[in-house]
Amino acid sequence: MDVLATYESVAQRLADLTAVEEALGILHWDQEIVMPAGAADARGKQIATLSVVAHERLTHADLGAGLQALTGNDALDETQKANVREALREHLRAVRIAPALVRAWGEWTTRGHQVWVQARQDSHFQAFAPVLAHLVELAKQRAAAVDPLKPAYDVLLDEFEPGMTMARLDPIFTELKAFLIPFVAQIRAKGQPSNTDWRSTPVAEADQRQFGESIVRAMGYSFECGRLDTSVHPFCGGAGPTDVRITTRYNENAFVGSLMGMIHETGHALYEQGRDLAYADQPVSRPRSMGIHESQSLLWEKQVGQARPFWQHHFPALQNAYPFLADLSLDEFVFGLNRVDFTNLIRVDADELTYPLHVILRYELERDLFNGALQVADLPAAWNAKIEQYLGIVPPDDRLGVLQDVHWSSGAFGYFPSYTLGALYAAQFYRKAVGEIPSIPVDLAAGNAKTLRDWLGVKIHHIGSRFETDQLCLRATGEVLNPKHFIDYARNKYAALYSL
């Protein structure tokens, strides 16, 4: 077969794989949003079966042979080459993990989740410890299967953040800690300058939904290629760039959280909806990594949605919709959106400044678990020591400490850093966007999100996985990931908010 015929054959296999994965996306969405409760067991079997089908397609020997034959072939254009590179990475990762290990992983992550739910409810870490230890062991086996020459934790990081390593993360997180720990302490010493009790004024769910939807629309989300529903855990899912479904939850006594959640998920959704439709069924159009995905949600949530320009336009409409805000000033409102909460122990509820410290803590514990410096049984003590050191607070029990996150119970080791990488990329991207298009803040203040969205579309969304992450960042901003943009942004923003 000639090169282009081989490429066509490979692309057809990848399109079929994409279709199966998209069908899985619908099954998951359906399960969370509309499925009747009695269907849970049957749904588990449907998802397991389609997962096997997807795995068969991804690991098919003909796909592997085609991808190997195409690798480095200059008859392909740049997009095709990138597509082959991305597909081959996924193919090799999948074929290198033996079926028995895939099965064991499936069984133990399911068991791990069940045991964790109970252990968290009982606030009893040692009940979870043996399963967690086994999951760490299985994750090491998976990593060794994928690449026996690399440290296990680097292989795990690579799954969520291709190319990321401990050697790169350690200095980045060290620099971030060196700034954040004293900075948060300084803010704590200063105290809250302004009352934010309005944040807990009750707002009916229907009102939250109506205003939130207006914001989602104003950001440019397409309801023609998506929908907005309510779920216990907000997420952005669906089936490819023409079917991007976001969800939110409404807490009647905490409207800010729901609103920011909608902006966050819309940020993810704009990335998905902005993918290159000409390659919608190929790996090359997919979002680059978890960290880049999170950069899009956090850019909209933090850089835009918690900043003054955006609310210059939208705050009057919010005051109109929520009359109890009538006497609040725009500055008081923006302060309230960003208020640092020194007492919060829970990552998912953390503000912009303390969130990275929650993540770095988890990263350091994971890294040490996998390099042998830390044992599973010692996790609670290590956790509590670190959080006291970073935030000056200690959890009263494991439920509010080491047992709070779902990730480890489902074997998602190496995932946490993506959240903070996202925050760092978000600051770097937004600064560059404004540098290139200085009107962006003015446009946002006039209710026009298009200039920013278009810049992200061209630099990030439409690019998909054409370039490796460093290259993507370099082309978008002129340099690779640099934490100083986030640090500058945070220092300036919070110094102003807290009059430091």
Give the integer Cα–Cα distance in Å for 317 and 320: 5
Which one of 23-31, 69-77, 262-270, 468-476 is the stretch in contact with a second copy (CB under 8 A)?
23-31
Does residue 15 contact residue 59 with C-beta atoms inside 8 Å? Answer: no
CB closer to a second copy out of 106 and 162: 106
Does 41 bind a second copy (CB under 8 A)? Our answer is yes
Write out the binding residues for a second copy, residues 92-151 only, by CB under 8 A. none
Does 20 bind a second copy (CB under 8 A)? Our answer is yes
Does 368 bind a second copy (CB under 8 A)? Our answer is no
Does residue 358 contact residue 184 with C-beta atoms inside 8 Å? Answer: no
Write out the binding residues for a second copy, residues 216-245 only, by CB under 8 A. 222-227, 238-240, 242-243, 245
Q: How many residues bind a second copy (CB under 8 A)?
A: 39
Site for a second copy (CB under 8 A): which residue of 3, 19, 104, 406?
19
Nearest approach, Cβ of 381 to a second copy (angstroms)? Answer: 45
Cα distances from 84 to residues 15, 91, 109, 147, 281, in angstroms, run: 13, 10, 31, 20, 13
Phi-psi region at 394: left, alpha or beta (left = phi > 0; alpha = psi -120 to 50): beta
Give the angle 133-134-135 at the CA atoms, nearest 5°.
Answer: 90
* 330: its two tokens: 């725009």
Per-residue x/- marks for a second copy, 265-294, CB under 8 A? Answer: ---------------xx-------------
Write out the binding residues for a second copy, residues 201-220 only, by CB under 8 A. none
Nearest approach, Cβ of 260 to a second copy (angstroms)? Answer: 24
Give the angle 38-42-47 at the CA atoms, nearest 5°.
Answer: 130
Considering 86, 265, 294, 364, which one is annotated as catalytic?
265
Does 9 bind a second copy (CB under 8 A)? Our answer is no
Give the integer Cα–Cα distance in Å for 495 and 500: 5
Which one of 29-37, 246-254, 307-315, 343-351 is the stretch in contact with a second copy (CB under 8 A)?
29-37
Query: Quick one: how far is CA 335 from the chain centroid?
Result: 25
Site for a second copy (CB under 8 A): which residue of 1, 4, 5, 42?
42
Nearest approach, Cβ of 26 to a second copy (angstroms)? Answer: 6
Site for a second copy (CB under 8 A): which residue of 4, 5, 8, 49?
49
Residue 40 CB neighbour total at 10 angstroms: 10
First to last CA, the chain: 68
Give the integer Cα–Cα distance in Å for 457 and 463: 8
Burial readout 131-153 (b: 16 or more C-beta within 10 A, e: otherwise): bbeebbebbbbbbbebeeeebbb
In the DSSP assignment, the letter for residue 452 is H
Nearest approach, Cβ of 18 to a second copy (angstroms)? Answer: 8
161 included as an active-site residue: no
As annotated, the active-site residues are: 265
Chain contacts with a second copy (rule: CB under 8 A): 15-16, 19-20, 22-23, 26-27, 30, 34-39, 41-43, 45-46, 48-50, 52-53, 222-227, 238-240, 242-243, 245, 280-281
